[in-house]
A = this chain, B = another copy of it.
Amino acid sequence: MNRNGCPIGTETGIAVPEPDNKKLKKSSMRWSPRALPTMDDVAKVTGFSQMTVSRAFLQSAPIKEETRKRILKAATKIGYYHNKAASSLASQRTRAFGIILPTLQDSIYVSFVDAARQVFEDQGFDHLLQTIDYTRGREMHAIGSLLSQRARAILLPSIGHTPETRKLLQTLPIPMIEIGNIPSHPIHYAVGHSDADAGYLATRRLLEIGRRNIGIICGVASETSNARSRLRGYCKALEETGFEIDLKLQAQVEHTIESGLAGLDRLLKANAKLDGIVIGGEIWTSAVILRLLASVRRIPDDIAVVGIGEVELGPYLPVPLTYVALPRREAGTKSAELAVKLIRGEDVSEAVIKLPVTLVIGGTA
């Protein structure tokens, strides 16, 4: 900082700094590959045998603590990194789990991944992250990649398996742990919640505060299982209270904000007396609320709104969001713990772990 309170540094603008790197031949910017040291190299340096060096890197091997320290120090010094390919080939196993995510896009799975990662790391395991971006074809690709890397188990979203895929997944040699909406017939194991419960809880809230014309915006039921489940919970709540199901109150939309807003417009146009909305997906929540406010509807006076799933902006919206919280983080922890137990050959009491969804009351309903 200079006295004006602004950082001192290179000029802003067109100038681009030159790298000052010794391993780059200045003239040609070509990278010269270098081979990494092996355990034999570390052995030679320390005077121990290759086997003892190996022991220094293993979890529980008989080795004197001082020896281990000496070896690890020497290894660091010469730039040795434990070769996992060789290690897992020799030991006939890896210490890695796979995680498949539908998308990185709407950061829904962030807390899930974070929680799972923490468990794996604490237990000395790696995790291999794959994304499929809601593309069916990429799911098998991701699984293939993880199996090629000999992941010990795979955590994957429960959404969107076709019956054929499901059959194929059944036969896989490692445990598949489905996350999110618990499927009616899990492949192997499942950890998550019931999206039907979530839809039910959201709709119940609106009914309880006296709403009678309740619409829902959600994904396309024929395509995604969680949209199907949320819609089912919505219908159940309505029917329980003696309301008729009205298709005009359902907007099944694509997974984009634009599409969600179009769905909202359809709902408003087709239902003059609309007084409640369930927003069945984080991606649409903020935009729908802002659009409602922009159209001079008061929330919750004119229209009450309940979201499904937490959104970061929720507490900072003009009216703080009322929503059904889904147990993402807990699912991450529980599923990772389950995975670890399984590959340890431990007995697990349940193949399905169902976590509760909870209503968080803000100001929108």
Contacts and interface: CB of A to CB of B under 8 A. Distances in A.
Given A29-B348, A30-B346, 16 more contacts: A12-B194, A12-B197, A12-B200, A13-B196, A16-B354, A19-B186, A24-B188, A35-B92, A36-B147, A36-B173, A84-B149, A85-B88, A85-B150, A104-B110, A117-B131, A128-B128
Given A81-B144, A85-B84, A19 B351 contact: yes
Interface in A139-197: 144-145, 147-150, 170-171, 173-175, 182-190, 194, 196-197
A245 to B, nearest CB: 4
A180 to B, nearest CB: 14
Interface string A195-223: 01101100000000000000000000100
Contact of A23 (B94, B188, B197): B188
Given A36-B147, A290-B318, A17 B184 contact: yes
Interface string A111-149: 001100100000000101111010000000000110111
Given A17-B184, A81-B148, A196-B12, A347 B290 contact: no
A89 to B, nearest CB: 5
B6 A231 contact: yes
Nearest to A311: B313
B245 A6 contact: yes
A268 interface: no
Given A17-B184, A133-B114, A197-B13, A150 B36 contact: yes
A228 interface: yes
Stoichiometry, as copies per complex, reads 2
A72 interface: no
A364 interface: no
Interface of A is mostly: loop
A282 to B, nearest CB: 11
B85 A21 contact: no
Contact of A31 (B145, B148, B343): B343
Nearest to A37: B173
Contact of A16 (B106, B182, B287): B182
A109 to B, nearest CB: 8
16 contacts: A6-B231, A12-B194, A12-B199, A19-B351, A24-B188, A28-B347, A29-B347, A30-B342, A36-B173, A79-B171, A81-B148, A83-B89, A103-B110, A104-B109, A291-B316, A293-B318
A19 B188 contact: yes
Interface string A276-309: 0000000000110011011000000000000000
A4 B291 contact: no
